[in-house]
Structures are given as structure tokens and as C-alpha cells.
Amino acid sequence: MIVILIGYMASGKSSIGVELSKKINFDFIDLDDFIEERENAKINTIFKDKGEIYFRKVEHQLLKEILNTKTNLVLSLGGGTPCYAGNMSLINNRHNVSSFYLKAKIKTITERLYKEKDSRPLVAHIVNEETLYEFIGKHLFERAPYYEQSNNSIVIDDLDIEEIVEKIVLQLF
Ligand code: S3P
């Protein structure tokens, strides 16, 4: 089985993925890290030098590769992965995949993402928290229909990592 974690930037996909994989004794892959290793470049640099369309192509190819070759895996996607290149259909057509949308309020995401925005090319240019809040509101509105295609969704605003992992495990087994 492959457990896929889905959600907006800064929703905790990577840290939850690490803890979940330890708990259920699965391997862990963070798709962004996998892309960075393969491309031998940081996500920021890939966006800057080669552009977002190139990034989305690589993201799609590597997602396919992982789905075709791995098992007993927890996979954390990038925030945009479900929204491009038919990736969500690809995921939903697999019988061995269980996907979880880590759902958070705009306010929760804004507070978290503001602190880490410099490593995210899509929001690095945003100068204050109010503008970021506006941006996320619109962006999430566009992306939610993709995220909502996940098999399960967990509202994470008031939960710590351990509680989220616990909820996922309960739904898995
Ligand atoms: C992106 C999210 C990032 C990364 C890239 C694009 C997005 O991943 O894939 O910067 O389109 O939302 P995280 O969600 O892990 O920050």
C-alpha cells in the first residue's frame, strides 16, 4: 500500500509523513525532496532557472515512477501536485493507494506559511501577512476541488502531529 498525504503548503504533509511512516513501519518519500535529489537543485532554483511548467512535468514523471515502483510507502506530495497533469486521477485509479487531505483553515495556513514562505517560490514575493491571507484564500478556492478528491480528509487546525497520525492510522487499519 502507498499512503499519500495531500494538502496546501505548510499543512504539515512532510512532518506528519515522517512520523506516520515510523509508526506503521513504511518507507517515507517527500516528493519535493525526491525532485530536488533527481534534479540536483533546490525547488526555488528549478522554478527560477527552468520555470514552473518544467517543474510540473518533472513532478508528474516522478510521481508516476514512485507509484509504479514502490510499496509500503508514505508519500507526501507538494501542495500543487494534485492540481496538475491529471495527477489526482492517476492517484485515484490505483487500487493500492489511500490518500489523506490534511485540511486547514486559511488562517492556520497563513500563520504557518508566513514564517516559511521564502523557501516557496509561489509565495516568496508576498510582503505581508494580510496579502498572504488574501492569496491563500483565492488559491485554496481553486485547489480545494482537487484536494477534496482524496479518499479521506482530516481537519488538522487544532491537532498536534501525534493526534493526526493517530487519526490516519485508525482510518487505515
Ligand atoms: C508548491 C508547493 C511546494 C513545492 C513547490 C510548489 C505548490 O511544496 O512543491 O514550491 O504549488 O503549492 P510544499 O507543499 O511541500 O511546500
Tens-place pLDDT, residues 131-153: 999 999 999 999 999 999 999 99
In whole angstroms, give the CA distance from residue 61 to residue 128: 35
Predicted pLDDT of residue 12: 96
CA dihedral in degrees (158, 98, 18, 43; nearest 10)?
A: -100
Please state the pTM of the whole predicted model: 0.98
Do 136 and 113 form a contact (C-beta atoms < 8 A)? yes
Q: Is the CB of 30 under 6 A from ligand 1?
A: no
Task: List CB contacts of 97: < 8 A, sequence separation 6 or more.
Answer: 1, 2, 3, 4, 67, 91, 151
Q: What is the pLDDT of residue 107?
A: 98
pLDDT of residue 104: 98
Q: Does the CB atom of residue 62 touch ligand 1 within 6 A?
A: no
| First vs last C-alpha separation in the chain | 12
